[in-house]
């Protein structure tokens, strides 16, 4: 089921039908929407090496991860983060079969986060959110969400799971391709991916709250307030990571089919499912994994579905595809999809990491009529 869902999502990304909207004449450079919070956003890149662990996909080397750390910053002035390197951009477009734009296009689009900007906020006083991207997708595809959370006072660690995306560029010039793509994608594969991502996340938390706790951005992290979310495979693996690491207080699965079931003893951390109405509403094709997990979630829980969104709509792909002349196959426009995702994801974290009541998560909202609250029978 997980593999089928990914193939459908890939087909949506790869469509090259003309977009209905054309960028304004004075704004033709592809760009991400501006964050909605009061803070400017800074970002720093971390190259982490887990010397204790062979890479699960290339055992001859140690596990290496690239992490983008977003945080509230003192100023919006300064060089903005490069979305992807030219090599990563070329790999993404080639994998998608997209030949209508130059191969380095995704290295030139405009982002909002300032590289290595001075952070603002109380030392070790801000909540941390970990984000994990979908399978084959670079960590950059969650930048719109990460920038927005940071603008609202969160530290956000977006983890790139090496050899699980189409390509990772390291600071020394090395380029790691998608080694896992060469493996049979059976059920055991997805179990291995989920388990490996949980270890990746725990290692990142160890680093941010240990050796790097005084590093730029990480020096804002309150180690007692950590939660996780992700898209597709990254969303599904968030639940497993939360069960494996008690530091993760809450988890969001955005449009991801669960391959690793919730164990019979259940899961007590707060969990939110947020997905497409056509795929995750009762009776829809991929709903079974969420329905099976639902009665085993013993803490706070919500199941929300969004009408008119496609799988990429929850990520930067939904925003960027129309700007590149591609069709994301969604009724909801890209920036509207981003606004919905940002609002509901932030509401979940505000509730569970800041203790701020969120009526948005309890009932239908006139401001977001696309979103429905699902109430399963058990």
The predicted-structure confidence for 324-372, as pLDDT tens digits, reads as follows: 999 878 999 999 999 999 999 999 999 999 999 999 999 999 999 999 9
- Give the pLDDT confidence score for residue 334 in this predicted structure: 95
Angle at which helices 187-209 and 233-244 pack, to 10 degrees?
60
Mean pLDDT of the chain: 92
- Give the pLDDT confidence score for residue 220 in this predicted structure: 98
pLDDT at 176 over 50: yes
Q: Tell me: the pLDDT tens digits for 250-274?
A: 999 999 999 999 999 999 999 999 9
List the chain domain ranges.
2-373
Beta strands in the chain (DSSP E): 40-54, 62-73, 114-115, 126-132, 155-160, 168-169, 175-176, 221-231, 248-254, 271-276, 301-306, 371-373
Rounded-to-integer distance, Cα 329 and Cα 341, Å = 17
pLDDT at 17 over 70: no
Q: Find how far residue 50's CA is from the centre of its chain.
A: 22
Q: H-type helices in 259-333, by residue range?
A: 277-280, 288-293, 316-323
Sequence-ordered list of residues with C-beta below 8 angstroms from that of 51, at least 6 positions apart, any chain: 62
Rounded-to-integer distance, Cα 89 and Cα 73, Å = 27
Q: Would you state the structure tokens that stand for residue 295, as one six-digit string? A: 């009665």
- Give the pLDDT confidence score for residue 28 in this predicted structure: 76
pLDDT at 113 over 60: yes
- Given pLDDT bands bounded at 50, 70 and 90, which one contains residue 23? very low
pTM of structure: 0.92
Rounded-to-integer distance, Cα 59 and Cα 47, Å = 19
Rounded-to-integer distance, Cα 317 and Cα 334, Å = 8
Angle at which helices 334-354 and 316-323 pack, to 10 degrees?
160
- Give the pLDDT confidence score for residue 143 in this predicted structure: 98
pLDDT at 9 over 90: no
Q: Tell me: the pLDDT tens digits for 146-167?
A: 999 999 999 999 999 999 999 9
Rounded-to-integer distance, Cα 27 and Cα 178, Å = 34
Region 18-37 average pLDDT:
66
Other beta carbons within 10 angstroms of residue 196's beta carbon come to 20
Phi and psi at residue 96, to the nearest 5°: -85, -5
Rounded-to-integer distance, Cα 226 and Cα 198, Å = 14
Residue that wins the pLDDT comparison between 185 and 9: 185
With CA atoms as reference, report the closest residue to 209 among 139, 157, 251, 249.
157
Q: Would you state the structure tokens that stand for residue 351, as one six-digit string? A: 């509730």
Please give the C-alpha separations between residue 264 and each of 27, 293, 297, 298, 361, in angstroms, as whole numbers: 53, 9, 10, 11, 27
Rounded-to-integer distance, Cα 51 and Cα 70, Å = 25
Q: Three-class SS string for 100-148?
A: CCCCCHHHCCECCCEECCCECCCCCCEEEEEEECCCECCHHHHHHHHHH
With CA atoms as reference, report the closest residue to 361 among 149, 350, 16, 353.
350
Instruction: Decide yes or no: CATH 3.40.50.1000 for domain 2-373.
Output: no
Rounded-to-integer distance, Cα 84 and Cα 95, Å = 15
- Give the pLDDT confidence score for residue 14 in this predicted structure: 33
């Amino acid at each position: 089921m997980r593999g089928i869902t990914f193939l459908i999502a890939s087909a949506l990304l790869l469509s090259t039908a003309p977009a209905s909207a054309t960028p304004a004449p004075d704004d033709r450079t592809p760009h991400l929407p501006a964050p909605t919070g009061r803070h400017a956003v800074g970002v720093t890149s971390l190259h982490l090496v887990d010397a204790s662990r062979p890479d699960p996909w290339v055992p001859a080397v140690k596990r290496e991860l690239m992490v983008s750390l977003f945080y509230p910053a003192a100023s919006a002035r300064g060089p903005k983060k490069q979305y992807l390197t030219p090599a990563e951009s070329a790999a993404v477009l080639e994998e998608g079969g997209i030949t209508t734009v130059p191969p380095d296009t995704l290295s030139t689009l405009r982002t909002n986060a300032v590289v290595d900007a001075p952070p603002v906020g109380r030392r070790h006083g801000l909540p941390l959110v970990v984000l994990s991207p979908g399978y084959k997708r670079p960590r950059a595809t969650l930048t719109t969400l990460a920038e927005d959370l940071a603008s609202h006072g969160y530290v956000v660690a977006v983890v790139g799971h090496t050899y699980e995306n189409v390509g990772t560029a390291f600071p020394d010039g090395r380029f790691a391709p998608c080694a896992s793509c060469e493996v049979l994608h059976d059920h055991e594969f997805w179990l291995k991916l989920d388990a490996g991502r949980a270890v990746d996340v725990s290692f990142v938390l160890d680093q941010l709250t240990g050796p790097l706790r005084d590093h730029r951005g990480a020096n804002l992290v309150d180690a007692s307030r950590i939660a996780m979310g992700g898209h597709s495979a990254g969303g599904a693996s968030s639940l497993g990571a939360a069960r494996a690491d008690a530091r993760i207080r809450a988890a969001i699965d955005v449009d991801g089919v669960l391959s690793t079931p919730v164990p019979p003893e259940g899961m007590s951390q707060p969990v939110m499912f947020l997905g497409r109405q056509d795929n995750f509403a009762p009776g829809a094709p991929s709903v079974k994994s969420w329905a099976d997990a639902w009665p085993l979630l013993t803490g706070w829980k919500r199941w929300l579905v969004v009408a008119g969104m496609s799988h990429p709509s929850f990520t930067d792909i939904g925003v960027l595809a129309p700007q590149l002349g591609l069709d994301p196959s969604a009724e909801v426009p890209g920036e509207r999809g981003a606004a919905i995702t940002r609002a509901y994801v932030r509401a979940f974290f505000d509730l569970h990491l800041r203790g701020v009541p969120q009526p948005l998560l309890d009932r239908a909202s006139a401001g977001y009529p696309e979103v429905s609250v699902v109430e399963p029978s058990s």
